[in-house]
């Protein structure tokens, strides 16, 4: 199967499969076991190199070790590099490759998004965000089917078509960096409207929009969409797993 190559191997994480697996296993094994009394619906994890995010990611992905094998694909959301636009982006190749193997993209879910009227664009993924997290998924769950979406700041989060998306995926993994304060508070309340409010653009300028633009950052769009989809899956609570500066790991779950 043709696959998107691991462009950032050797820069964001170890390129050698043995060293990569050992490092990811250590991040997960060394993490304290999070205690959740409910069903996991979504994870929020930060982006960065494994040296920067490893311990935080380990706390989050340790939760996956106790999950049964997914019966539906994972949904992985990451901020799109371009601030403009309103279409979801997905790599055109049928799989992502890492030094640990290949993870196939679930084309059926992608097709259903398009049929529901959600704008999608098949565009090459040059960012490290999704690629860097796949080794954690592979170590915790294996080479599962997944749906990798890059979320632009201008995405229409109010579209009714999103309501059915949560039913098609087993778990949502949202990759975004979260500063302290109002953004984290809104996320802990599972309040996507607060995350996307005009006031939040000034309090939480993670990725500054173009001059004169009222669009929020793509990080905020990722988080707001993750909250909406997690709530559609029944999530009622969020718990902070760990936080260092603007990098945070959370779990959204159904109590």
The DSSP code sequence of 93-118 is: SSEEEETTEEEEB-HHHHHHHHHTT-
How confident is residue 83, by pLDDT bands cut at 50, 70 and 90?
low
C-alpha–C-alpha distance, residues 236 and 104, integer Å: 30
Residue 190 lies in a domain: no
pLDDT for 231 equals 94
How confident is residue 193, by pLDDT bands cut at 50, 70 and 90?
confident
pLDDT for 71 equals 85
Residue 38 lies in a domain: yes
Residue 114 lies in a domain: yes
pTM of the model: 0.92
The total of structural domains in the chain comes to 1
Q: Is the pLDDT of residue 226 over 90?
A: yes
Residue 231 lies in a domain: yes
25 Cβ neighbours under 8 A, 6+ residues apart: 139
How far apart, in Å, do the first and last CA atoms of the chain sit?
Answer: 40
Residue 220: C-alpha distances to residues 4, 19, 92, 203, 209 (Å): 26, 34, 25, 12, 12
Reported as a single tens digit per residue, the pLDDT across 109-143 is: 999 999 999 999 999 999 999 999 999 999 999 99
Residue 115 lies in a domain: yes
* 216 DSSP 8-state letter: P
Q: Which domain holds residue 47?
A: 1-151+218-243
* CATH code of residue 24: 3.40.830.10
Residue 178 lies in a domain: no
Residue 94 lies in a domain: yes
Residue 98 lies in a domain: yes
């Amino acid at each position: 199967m043709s696959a998107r190559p691991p462009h950032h191997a050797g820069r964001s994480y170890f390129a050698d499969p043995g060293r990569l697996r050992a490092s990811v296993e250590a991040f997960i094994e060394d993490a304290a076991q999070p205690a959740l009394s409910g069903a996991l619906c979504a994870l929020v994890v930060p982006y960065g190199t494994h040296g920067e995010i490893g311990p935080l990611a380990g706390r989050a992905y340790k939760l996956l070790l106790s999950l049964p094998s997914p019966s539906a694909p994972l949904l992985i959301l990451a901020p799109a590099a371009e601030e403009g636009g309103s279409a979801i982006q997905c790599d055109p190749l049928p799989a992502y490759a890492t030094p640990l193997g290949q993870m196939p993209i679930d084309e059926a879910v992608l097709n259903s998004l398009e049929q529901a009227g959600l704008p999608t664009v098949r565009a090459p993924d040059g960012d490290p965000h999704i690629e860097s997290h796949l080794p954690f998924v592979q170590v915790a769950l294996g080479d599962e089917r997944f749906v990798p979406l890059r979320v632009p700041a201008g995405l229409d989060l109010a579209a009714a078509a999103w309501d059915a998306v949560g039913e098609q995926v087993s778990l949502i993994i949202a990759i975004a960096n979260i500063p302290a304060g109002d953004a984290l508070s809104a996320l802990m309340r599972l309040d996507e409207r607060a995350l996307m409010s005009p006031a939040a653009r000034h309090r939480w300028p993670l990725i500054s929009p173009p001059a004169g633009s009222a669009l929020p950052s793509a990080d905020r769009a990722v988080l707001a969409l993750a909250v909406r989809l997690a709530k559609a899956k029944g999530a009622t609570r969020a718990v902070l797993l760990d936080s260092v500066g603007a990098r945070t790991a959370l779990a959204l779950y159904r109590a």
